[in-house]
Amino acid sequence: MTSKRQIQADIDPRAQVVDAALRLAAARDWANIPLSDIASEAGITLADLARSFECREDIITAYARRIDADVLENFGGYSEGGGSPRDLLFDILMDRFERLKRDRAAILSILGSFTADPKQLVISLPHIGKSMAWMLEACGIETIGWRGALRVAGLAGVYLYVLRVWREDDSADMGRVMATLDGALARTERWAGTLGF
């Protein structure tokens, strides 16, 4: 028989903190949620929280890594040999936006906090680039070298541009998101072709 202590030991403490942060962000303004409240919601001490995370931005980064893993696990486009690079990027980014819908209230709160504290967005930019590198790799698009760096930067720009539309599009089919993403990828493809990428 599995004891309560064993069940608790099996819980990833970092995932527990991310889940707690998402619950609080969904109910309150993320900009006004202190680390002590996140620790309390997660059922751990502030010292335990400090052992796993450096700051609130670190918690957001851990959440982004969770999204990366979920999307990569469910994406089979490149491995199944279907679609052009543009089609694959469209599919995987739409998968990502669909996955974000599960935590929509929390994400809207977090994105809204960037307006009040722009440094959060600046801090997040390198991590967004890493996420986009994973998306490109999943589509069989190389991210090595200066060409790869430009591809990562270009896709990060597309993602952030479409994310603004995602914030406003709460429809079931995300029609505006799909149209905006398709147009942005088409423009990026033309730009890349012009420069020989």
The whole-model pTM stands at 0.86
Q: What is the pLDDT of residues 133-174, one digit of tens each?
A: 999 999 999 999 999 999 999 999 999 999 999 999 989 999
Range of lowest pLDDT (35-49, 97-111, 123-137): 123-137
**Alpha-carbon distance 108 to 87, whole Å?**
27
**Whether pLDDT at 8 is above 60:** no
**Whether pLDDT at 7 is above 60:** no
Average pLDDT over residues 116-126: 73
Token pair of 92, please? 């995987």
**pLDDT at position 114, please?**
82
